[in-house]
Amino acid sequence: MLKQRKSIVGLDIGSSCIKAVELTREKYDHVVTGYAQIDVPSEAARQDAIAELMRAAHFRTRRVASAVSGKNVVFRYVAMPEMSEDRLAQAVRLEADKYIPFDVADVELDVHRLGSGQDATGKPELKVLLVAAKKSIVAEQARILGELGLQPVAVGVDGFALGNAWELGELVNPGIQEAGRTVALIDVGATKASINILRDNVSSFAREVPMGGQDLTNAIARRLGVDPAQAEALKREPGDQANVVQEATAQVLEDLGNEINLSFDFFENQFDGEVQEVWLTGGTALLPFLEESFEKIFEKRTKTWNPIEGLKVRSDNVDVEALNQQAPRLAVALGLAAAI
C-alpha cells in the first residue's frame, strides 16, 4: 500500500535558543521524526547556529515553517461591518493604515475573523484581528533560510503556532478535553511572552508582551550582585539558593503576570466569556515555581503544558529524554510544523 508521508520542520528561531521539531504525517498518525535545539549567544551568530542545528538534527526534509515576532509585528483588533471573507480581506487592507504604525505597502497583512458581536448601539459587527509583519523581516528570514539550503514554506507568528500545537493535541487525544472551553496558552521565552486565547478551539486573541526570562535573570543578578551568566545558571539550578532565587524574581513575575491578566480582561470584555484555564510553555515554564506564582495572580487553574504528550516519537532519530525534558519549550516549533 502506498503510504502518504509528508515531513515538515517547525523552526522556532527564539532570541536565546533555536528549537526545531520535525513532524511527519503518516496516514493516520503525526509522528515526531526529529528534534534539535541550540542556544544562540547573539543575533550575529544566528545563521551559523541554524546551520549547526540542521547538521546535527538529521531531518529527512529541508522544508521549514518559521515565525516572525518582535516590534516589526503588530496585532490589532478592529470591528468591521458583517461581510464575506473575500470582501473582508480587501476592506481591511484599504483601512489598515488607520490601525498599523507601518506603511501598508510594506507589510504582509493577515486577517483573522474572530467572530460576530454587537457594537455599543446593538448593531451587528465583526471582530477582526489584524496581524501585520514588515515584509522586509519576512524576506530577510526567507533569505537566511534559503542561503542555508532550506526551503521556507510558511511564516507564522508564535501565538498562532501555540494554537496549532493545541489543536494537534486535540487531534491525537480525541475526547480528552472538554468541548466548549476557553483556554489561554502562554509561551514565556527569554524576551517576550506570547499569548493565545482559544475559545472552543478557535484562536480568539493573540498578543505579545515584551517581558521574559531575561528579566528574571537580570533581577537575580541585581539582587545577588552576580554577573548575568552566574544568575542564569542559578535560575536554572538554584540548589540550596531556591528561596533566594524565588524571592529575587517575585516582582518581575508579578509584573508579567499582571500584564498577562490585562489581556485576559480585554478578552473577557470583548467576548463576554471567561478564560477558564491557563497553560504555560516556553523556556521560562521550566521554572518550578512559575505555575504557582501565576496561578495566584490569575486566580485560574494554571498548568505547565507538554505539547508532545500523545504524539508518537521516532526514537531512532530523537533523543527522547531531552525531548521530554524540554517539551514545554517546544510548543511553538511543534505548532509551526503542525500548521502546514
Ligand X SMILES: Nc1ncnc2c1ncn2[C@@H]1O[C@H](COP(=O)(O)OP(=O)(O)OP(=O)(O)O)[C@@H](O)[C@H]1O
| Contacting positions for Mg ion (CB under 5 A) | 14, 189
- Give least dist CB 67 to Mg ion, A: 9
Q: Which of residues 222-261 bind ligand X (CB under 6 A)?
A: 232, 235-236
CA proximity to 245, closest of 302, 188, 291, 288: 288
The residue (of 20 and 128) whose beta carbon lies closer to Mg ion is 20
- When asked if residue 284 is in the footprint of ligand X (CB under 6 A), the reply is yes
DSSP string, 187-213: EE-SS-EEEEEEETTEEEEEEEES--H
Is the separation of the CB atoms in 287 and 235 below 8 Å?
A: yes
The residue (of 96 and 252) whose beta carbon lies closer to ligand X is 252
The residue (of 15 and 263) whose beta carbon lies closer to ligand X is 15
Q: Which stretch binds ligand X (CB under 6 A): 46-54, 101-109, 206-214, 267-275?
A: 206-214
- Give least dist CB 178 to ligand X, A: 28
SS3 147: helix
Q: Which stretch binds ligand X (CB under 6 A): 10-18, 242-250, 293-301, 303-311?
A: 10-18
- Give least dist CB 332 to Mg ion, A: 6
Helix, strand, coil percentages in the chain from 3-state DSSP, rounded to 5: 45, 30, 25
- Give the whole-angstrom CA distance, residue 54 versus residue 34: 10
C-alpha cell at 68: 516572525
Strand order of the sheet with strand 5-13? Answer: 151-156, 63-67, 5-13, 17-26, 29-39, 312-313
Among 10, 152, 159, 283, interactor with ligand X by CB under 6 A? 283
Q: Which does 213 bind (CB under 5 to 8 A by kind): ligand X, Mg ion, none?
A: ligand X
Each residue 174-203 as x (binds ligand X by CB under 6 A) or -, in order, gives: ---------------xxxx-----------
Strand 5-13 and strand 63-67: the pairing is parallel
Contacts of 141 (CB under 8 A, 6+ apart): 13, 66, 68, 152, 155
Among 212, 257, 307, 335, interactor with ligand X by CB under 6 A? 212
User: CB count, 10 Å around CB of 279?
Assistant: 24
- Give least dist CB 34 to ligand X, A: 18
- Give least dist CB 98 to ligand X, A: 29
Which residues in this chain contact ligand X in the complex, by CB under 6 A?
Answer: 14-17, 189-192, 212-214, 217, 232, 235-236, 282-284, 286-287, 329
